[in-house]
Amino acid sequence: MAKMKPLFYCDNCGYEVGDDLKKCPYCGRNFVSVRCPICDYSGPDKIFQDGCPMCGYSAPPQRNIPKPPKSKPRKFDEPPSQPLPFWTFIAAFFALIAVIFLFSHLITR
């Protein structure tokens, strides 16, 4: 019987990820180490290739994790899909007027 290869999951979103990734393709979280779900031992991914070096755990978790979305994940450098509320523009306008008034007042002194 072939030894089962351990599965890797993102701690932040719970989706299964490749063992060679440095960043989750679904939520964008950076991976700095791997954590065993049984004994909580953490370390670099290279020592987990055959399972946890401390307890030997290598089976997938016994929880129902949803399938990843079929659409391309949103990149965090893209603008949000919803425009800003109108009151933010009004607040920015009044803040700009206040700064202009403050500078003009300081200059004329």
How many Å separate Cα 42 from the centre of its chain? Answer: 18
Q: Which pLDDT belongs to residue 47? A: 80
C-beta neighbour count of 57 within 10 angstroms: 16
Q: Is the dihedral of CA 44, 50, 56, 60 positive or negative?
A: positive
Which residues are registered as beta bridge partners of 30? 23
Q: Which pLDDT belongs to residue 77? A: 64
Q: Which pLDDT belongs to residue 96? A: 96
* pTM for this prediction: 0.42
Query: How deeply is 34 buried, as exposed, middle or buried, from its count of CB atoms within 10 A (0-12, 13-18, 19+)?
Result: buried
pLDDT digits (tens, 9 = 90+) for 52-99: 888 877 765 555 656 666 666 666 666 656 777 889 999 999 999 999
Which are the contacts of 92, defined by CB distance < 8 A and separation ≥ 6?
Answer: none
Stated length of the chain: 109
pLDDT digits (tens, 9 = 90+) for 9-39: 887 888 888 877 888 888 888 877 778 877 8
